[in-house]
Structure 1
Amino acid sequence: MMLRGKLALYLGRQFLQSVAIVLFVLVALTAIIQILEFLRRTADKVDVTFGVILQLTFLDLPTKTLELLPFVMLFGAMLAFYRLNRSSELVVARAAGISAWQFLAPALAVSLVFGIVVVTIINPLAAAMASRFELVEGQYLRGRASMLKVTSDGLWMRQADGDGQIVVHADRARQQGVDLRDVIFFRFVDLDRFTMRIDAQRAVLRDGYWEMRDAYVALPNQPIEVYKRFKLPTTLTFLQIQESFAPPETLSFWELPAFIQTLQDNGFVATRQRLYLHSLLATPLLFVAMVFLAAASTLRLVRRGGNALFLLGGVLSGFLLFFMSDVASAFGVTGDVPIYLAAWAPGLVGLMAGTWFVFQLEDG
């Protein structure tokens, strides 16, 4: 049975305060580390001012914060339970007949609601800032923006070509972008001077060139020439095409399903995007699991006077969770394990382990 009234509100407020403290500390440390990292990366770039570095840090901070939130929930819950234990409030509650499940219910409810808010509201804001960060970083640090974009109108691609560039548009793509259908190549010099247009029924990326079929080549002030086979040199590779997509973090939870469908319609597997979507869906479960793990490592150890074990148990839980999530994601991207398992396994394992420990605490 869940707690009601003032006690539930008090416990929920204590949990929120502890989470806020941990969040503030970790975000501040992350911001400092990010500033130092951007200073290092821009040490040889005279056109990058400290204002640009602050802008990069501000735009990238929400994405980094979302990555930290599971640890924020873990250490925030541990701090809350530790404070309640040290003040003997937990002892009084247990003496009054309140079970561990009732005591944890407010924190579990807050973590679940907070997880839903993160996915549906905070994530879209962070995605918008991450998208802007990609543009600014491409301008000042990488020297280029993403060279590939997939929309409902087809695929757009850009490649360097000597003193100019070639812009490619295809209505459809196959084999993850190396086999283009109904494709047009536009060649420009100095970004604004048109020098050539090629329309082809099909273009396939080979080693060092595009091989086209039924190509119509148009040059300025010259008649159109038709080729059954036409080769256009390129420095693009399959790996470059795969790495040219903007990170999934630049797309919000609400945009991801449609974008994944668009990618699949254009011949792309969209593994990274699907994995990221399921990781977002699993966020509330992961937050709840963190509260259970915090209760398991804090309530038992502190009650027995094991302050050092309490700290060590929390740190190890965080690192083990991070390692497991990282490994599962890597296997999910490569296709060695199903995407559903890679995204949901960390939260499920943490939930089962934490629940088991709380059962032991309650029975003991």
Structure 2
Amino acid sequence: MIGTLFGYIAKRYMLYLLMVLGGICSIVFMFDCMELLRIAYGNELGWLVLLKLAMMKNYKHIQQVLPFAICIATIMTYSSITKTFELIVARCCGVSVWQFLCPVITIAFIVGMVNIFIFNPIGASILHKYEKLYATHLKRQTSTTVMVSANGLWLRDTVGDNNIIVHATKISEHQNRLLDVIFFITDQEHKFVQRMDAEYAELEEGSKWCLHNVDIVQEQGYVERTDVNCIPTNMSFGQIKESLVHPETIPIYKLQSFIEATKNSGFSTVRHLNYLYKTLLSPFFYISLVLVSLFFSTSMPRFSKTGRNITLGIMFGIVIYFVSDLISALGISGRIPLMLSCSAPTLICMSIGLYLTLHYEDG
């Protein structure tokens, strides 16, 4: 009997989860298309490219709405079997709350694990391509992403007719400096113009790079040494930090090595660590949402409307979403330990869910 009940609840939950997730993503997809149409007005962008951009962006929205979908699907599943007295009959036959919770908890955990190890690498690649396409077709410029490797960082700037490629061993965020730096300057046809090797380069916001203790290699091959040499730039130090690769575009199995390389280069890795911890904890967060959602679906009066339960569940999800963002902001700013800020939403939801389940359902 337990096996039959497990399969029955699991199938119903999967159906509701796919329905809710598909419905929300379809609505978001339509709004994305309208937003991209507005942005692309006058750019003569084809429909196929717009649809491609909207579909690529949809992966990010799936990650954001998945917790809401899990809440709603849980409420719909248990509300439906409560209304038809199936859950009541099962309880009368001696089935405990944990036995009829097991199918949904198992699926929520599996969804979290599949999301981490299968969908995350695929989605990271999709989002990376989306950012490139968006920069090319809508911003009409080449992406200025900072590339970080084991031997330092690379960035690119365009000033007038020249392309400037910069390599630095390390960055000093507090002093707005690049350390042990090399500037490669080429023309529009990517022909060598000049190379500058400097002890460090200091950025005067939005105006120029000032290179100190510089060896300048000219096109003809001779070397000139100077104490300070300044060249114009279009970038600011804030843009350099912001253009660092977003954590969502890096597969989870590459993220740890990227964080180490980024940290060695002098960049702050708080955002990337925050994303890594929250992603790894997501299966347990989904389980905690299932426990809390059960309260909204079985503690209401027998003939209450499912719509009211879903509304209450959505309101709870919104509260958790904003509280989670607030705690994450405190962790990223250094007010509280980062590990605590990442695990706090899961621990809070799990504690509330266990209390409600033990007190109202299993008590």
TM over 0.5: yes
Q: Does 1:269 align with 2:268?
A: yes
Structure 2 CA distance for aligned equivalents of residues 224 and 152 of structure 1:
29
Corresponding pairs, count:
361
Cα displacement string for residues 177-213 of structure 1 (whole angstroms, at most 9, x for unaligned residues): 9332332101223252332211123223344433333
Structure 2 letter corresponding to 1:52: V
Counterpart in 2 of 1:360?
A: 359
Counterpart in 2 of 1:16?
A: 14
Please list every run of 5 or more consecutive structure 1 residues that lacks an aligned counterpart in the other structure: none
Measured at CA, do residues 59 and 305 of structure 1 come closer, stay the same or move farther in structure 2, by a change above 3 Å?
closer
- How much has 1:164 moved relative to structure 2? 2.3
Q: Of 57, 62, 65, which aligns to 2:62?
A: 65
Structure 2 letter corresponding to 1:264: K
Q: Does 1:188 align with 2:186?
A: yes
Would the aligned equivalents of 2:108 and 2:287 in 1 still touch at CA under 8 Å?
A: yes
Structure 2 letter corresponding to 1:41: I
Would the aligned equivalents of 1:176 and 1:268 in 2 still touch at CA under 8 Å?
A: no
Structure 1 letter corresponding to 2:310: L
With 304-313 and 52-61 compared, the bigger mean Cα shift is at 304-313
Structure 1 CA distance for aligned equivalents of residues 315 and 71 of structure 2:
11
SS in 2 for 1:305: coil
- How much has 1:16 moved relative to structure 2? 1.3
Structure 1 letter corresponding to 2:132: L
Counterpart in 1 of 2:100?
A: 103
Would the aligned equivalents of 1:177 and 1:267 in 2 still touch at CA under 8 Å?
A: no
- How much has 1:134 moved relative to structure 2? 0.8
Q: Does 1:31 align with 2:34?
A: no
Structure 1 letter corresponding to 2:297: T
- How much has 1:309 moved relative to structure 2? 4.1
Please list every run of 5 or more consecutive structure 2 residues that lacks an aligned counterpart in the other structure: none
Structure 1 CA distance for aligned equivalents of residues 174 and 253 of structure 2:
24
Structure 2 CA distance for aligned equivalents of residues 30 and 334 of structure 1:
31
After TM superposition, the score normalised by the length of structure 2 is 0.93
Cα displacement string for residues 16-63 of structure 1 (whole angstroms, at most 9, x for unaligned residues): 1111111111121121111111111111212x1111101101211112
- How much has 1:249 moved relative to structure 2? 0.6
- How much has 1:64 moved relative to structure 2? 1.4
Structure 2 letter corresponding to 1:249: E
After TM superposition, the score normalised by the length of structure 1 is 0.93
Structure 2 CA distance for aligned equivalents of residues 189 and 135 of structure 1:
23
Counterpart in 1 of 2:47?
A: 50
Would the aligned equivalents of 2:125 and 2:249 in 1 still touch at CA under 8 Å?
A: yes
Measured at CA, do residues 113 and 105 of structure 1 come closer, stay the same or move farther in structure 2, by a change above 3 Å?
same
Q: Does 1:127 align with 2:116?
A: no
% same residue: 27
Alignment of 1:173-252 (within 5 A): 173-175=171-173, 178-207=176-205, 208-221=207-220, 223-252=222-251
